[in-house]
Each structure stands twice: as structure tokens, then as C-alpha cells.
Amino acid sequence: MHFLTALDLDGFTPVPDRPDFWTDDAGSVLSVHEFGLVPDVPAALDDLASLRRLNTLDAAGQGVAAIEIDVVAVDGLPAMRQVLKTRIPGRDHGLVFIGSFTLPRADRSVVVKVQAAEQGMTGLREALVFNSLGAPDKVFLPHPYAPDAQLPLPYSAADAPEWDARFPDHPLTRVRAVLARQAAAVRVAETFRSTAPFVPAQTGGSAAPDAAPAPHADAERRWFRRG
């Protein structure tokens, strides 16, 4: 690692032949992705409504559904925190959950990512939450960040963090737990911290809430498709 100097690797072991990738006994995969490129974050980090909407639309175009998008401090720097879900590639059932912190600067960024997939019987969390809430319109809701968007997966009340305690071994619960650990543990290199702050490309530093995200030609940025 060059942009980071510390990470919480307790319980994780290196993945052979994959630098900056680690895995734990539950099958979660932790990774770090560094980019010497202008970040493709579509809105200013202080414009949360635009950031949420544009990232939700952008992810949907890649077959990924946003669960949570927030801005938090990681080692004193603003970071975009995301929790996403997508179908397990090559399977007709089961989901993989992806959590990340993106720390953007003017000409570079670093992403700390954790992902965990459903194994064995899938959909149990959703089924039990459905039984608890009792009606489809209480489980499957309009997306709060982009209610008019065409999403690859429904926005579900079962994904809410309030259910994590009931499902401690679920991959979504584990992803959130690892993110919380990393938020406290990550330390950035001084050479990264001292670079100019991130400013989005849009005039005035803010993206229009209803603007569609531009397609990204650079596949290197598609960190959530890696690993």
C-alpha cells in the first residue's frame, strides 16, 4: 500500500498472488484499490442528495443496487461510504454485498472495499423480514435516493441495519461490521493527505440532482466489479 499506512487486518489473511487482497474464515474479501486518476465521484461530498442520486443511477447501470451512501470522516478526511448489492455472477440466485470507503483527492483516490456473498440457503433474511412485516409494500420500497430509477434489484426493508442484530452471520451484517472496523483503523499516508482536496468536474462544485451520470470509459475505475 502507498496511499494508506494502516488497515485493520485482524482475522484476515493475504490472498495468494493478489496483492492488497485479504480474506477471512467466513469468506469475506477485503481489498484496497489505489488510483492515480482524477476521481469519478459525480458530485461534491457536501452535496449528499446529488451524490446519492447519481451514484445510485450509476451503480444501477452496472447491475448493482445501492443500499446506503453516506459521507463520513476516515482518518480526518471526507470519504464516501457505500453499501451495495448485486447478483452473484453466473448464478440465478444469491447476492453479494459490497461495502466501501472512497477517499477522493484532486488527482487520486483510494478505495477500501469489503465484499461477502450469500452461501448455502439464500434469501432467508428477506423471507423472515417479510414474515415479520407482513405486507409487500412494507418490504419492497421506492428507493430513497432515486425513487424513479429502474433498479436491477428491489430496494428492500430487509437490508436495513436495524435487522443486522437478528442476522449476525448474514453477509450484509458482516460487510457493515468490517466497514465500521476500517473506519476506525484506516490511516492515510501524509503524501496522500497533503494533496489538493477533491472538487467534482461539474461547474460550481455540484451535480444537478436529475442529471444522468456520464458513462465511464475507464474500466480501471470499476473497483466494485473486481475480485
Q: pLDDT (tens digit, 9 = 90+) per residue, 187-206? A: 999 999 999 999 998 633 33
Q: Give a yes or no: residue 200 inside a domain.
A: no
Give the percent of the chain with pLDDT over 70.
88
Q: Residue 123 — very low, low, confident or very high, per pLDDT cuts 50/70/90? A: confident
What is the value of pTM for the model shown?
0.87
Q: Which residues, including other chains, have CB under 8 Å from residue 146's CB and lie 6 or more apart?
A: 52, 53, 56, 57, 60
Which of 112, 115, 82 lies closest to 97, judged by CA?
A: 115
**Span 108-137, mean pLDDT?**
91
Q: Give a yes or no: residue 224 inside a domain.
A: no
Q: Give a yes or no: residue 220 inside a domain.
A: no
Q: Are 206 and 83 in contact (CB under 8 A)?
A: no
Give CA 227 to chain center in angstroms: 14
Q: Give a yes or no: residue 42 inside a domain.
A: yes
Q: Give a yes or no: residue 162 inside a domain.
A: yes
Q: Give a yes or no: residue 127 inside a domain.
A: yes
Q: Residue 214 — very low, low, confident or very high, per pLDDT cuts 50/70/90? A: very low
Q: Are 201 and 112 in contact (CB under 8 A)?
A: no
Asked if residue 143 has pLDDT above 70, the reply is yes
- Mean pLDDT value across the chain: 89
How many domains is the chain partitioned into structurally?
1
Q: Determine phi and psi for 99, rounding to 5 degrees.
A: -120, 150
Asked if residue 155 has pLDDT above 50, the reply is yes
Q: Give a yes or no: residue 147 inside a domain.
A: yes
Q: Which domain holds residue 141?
A: 4-194
Q: Give a yes or no: residue 209 inside a domain.
A: no
Instruction: Please report, for the domain that includes residue 187, its CATH number.
Output: 3.40.1000
Asked if residue 6 has pLDDT above 90, the reply is yes
State residue 136's pLDDT score: 86
